[in-house]
Amino acid sequence: MLESGLCNYVLISYGHSALSSDSMMQMLTDLSGDDAVFGHFGATGGYALAARRAMHTFGTGPETWKQIAMGQRQWADLNPQAVMHGKTMSSEDYDHSRWVVEPLRLLDNCLITDGGRAIVVTSLERARDLKQPPVVILGMGQHDQPAEIGQALTMDGPTGAKKAGEAALAMAGITLNDVDACQLYDCFTYTVEITLQDYGFFGPGEGKDWFQGGTIAPGGRMPVNTSGGQLSEAYFMGLTPLAEAAMQIMGRCGRRQLGPATGTREPRIVLCSDNGGILQSHSCIILGRS
């Protein structure tokens, strides 16, 4: 829209009374189609299918996902706006969390949130005259896996994240070593693992070691979802990660601000993701300072 010259200032908006209306339940309990006959329906069912397959093929599991759930909750505790702010999560809390669809527990699932989020995008030239420090788009990539998860030959990856990530890094002219933090679409804990794995942060199944010791948490070497993410801040689709990346790069994140305050690297380059369906479509965008 901007590149073609059709528009100068683009507004991107999301809003949903997801928790207080019947909208979300209409979708999640949609029992139409062949799958429902066999008891398979809803987003958690689809992701549970993928996560179970991944447990079998590359040995992931709850020990890895727990690190993701707890790490993001620590970030939420530094973010007063996060829905789960002040609700600390212990290892036992995770272990005792109820099943939604095995192998995914309640604390592997993202939040359902009333609220909205919006961003404005313009040219860097125009951005320089505006109020906030520009958050520059360094690279973008998209890739989709065409098959529905139940029929996908790539049920355990690679997801679209692999090619989308490669394209975005190539456009930005950087490698993963240049990335200071990630803001990822995290509908489930497993989504964070498979996304980072497909981007190449670690090999299949190596997440078990990679996440240990608070890698993604405050003080960690690769902070992920520093608002708390969709697991612990709020669910606004791709705008949860994008907005947080922008706010971090602008330096407006208060106690959770990346840099010396949280014992992390300065957020010069932040990698963001969004995905749709059940690991079916994927977008990667790399943002940085001007």
Partner 1 sequence: MTAKVKKQYAIVGVGYTPQGRIPGRTSLSFHLEASANAIADAGLRASDIDGFISYRYFPASSSETALTPNHVAHALGLSPTYISQDAN
Q: Cβ 118 to partner 1, closest distance in Å? A: 4
Q: Are 107 and 93 in contact (CB under 8 A)?
A: yes
Q: Cβ 285 to partner 1, closest distance in Å? A: 10
Determine whether 185 is an active site residue: yes
Which residue in the list 47, 94, 199, 235 is annotated as catalytic? Answer: 235
Between CA 112 and CA 50, with CA 199 as vertex, the angle to 5 degrees is 50
Between CA 12 and CA 16, with CA 14 as vertex, the angle to 5 degrees is 170
Tell me which residues touch partner 1 (CB under 8 A). Answer: 1-3, 6-24, 26-27, 81, 83, 113-124, 126-127, 130-132, 134-140, 170-173, 233-234, 236-239, 242-243, 246-247, 250, 276-277, 287, 290
Q: Which is nearer to partner 1, 220 or 239 (CB)?
A: 239
Q: Which is nearer to partner 1, 52 or 73 (CB)?
A: 73
Q: Are 101 and 28 in contact (CB under 8 A)?
A: no
Q: Which is nearer to partner 1, 217 or 247 (CB)?
A: 247
Q: Cβ 99 to partner 1, closest distance in Å? A: 24
Q: Which is nearer to partner 1, 16 or 52 (CB)?
A: 16
Q: Which is nearer to partner 1, 60 or 273 (CB)?
A: 273
Determine whether 14 is an active site residue: no
Residue type for 87, please? K
SS3 category, 93: helix
Instruction: Match 């309640």 to its residue by tokens.
Output: 106
Q: Are 208 and 60 in contact (CB under 8 A)?
A: yes
Exposed e or buried b per residue across 266-280, where buried means at least 16 C-beta atoms within 10 angstroms of its C-beta: ebebbbbbbbeebbb
Please, which residues have CB within 8 angstroms of residue 34's CB and are 6 or more apart in sequence?
A: none
Q: Which is nearer to partner 1, 27 or 59 (CB)?
A: 27
The radius of gyration of the chain from alpha carbons, rounded to an integer in Å, stands at 18
Which residue in the list 94, 185, 190, 199 is annotated as catalytic? Answer: 185
Q: Cβ 119 to partner 1, closest distance in Å? A: 5
Q: Cβ 48 to partner 1, closest distance in Å? A: 19
Q: Are 267 and 284 in contact (CB under 8 A)?
A: no
Q: What is the helix (H) or strand (E) element at residue 201, kind and residue range?
A: none
Question: How many Å separate Cα 228 from the centre of its chain?
Answer: 10
Give how far Cα 74 sits from Cα of 56, 125, 163, 223, Å: 29, 37, 31, 11
Q: Cβ 203 to partner 1, closest distance in Å? A: 28
Q: 85-90: which pairs have CB atoms within 8 A and are 24 or more residues apart?
A: 85/228
Query: How many other CB atoms are found less than 10 A from the CB of residue 47?
Result: 25
Catalytic residues: 185, 235
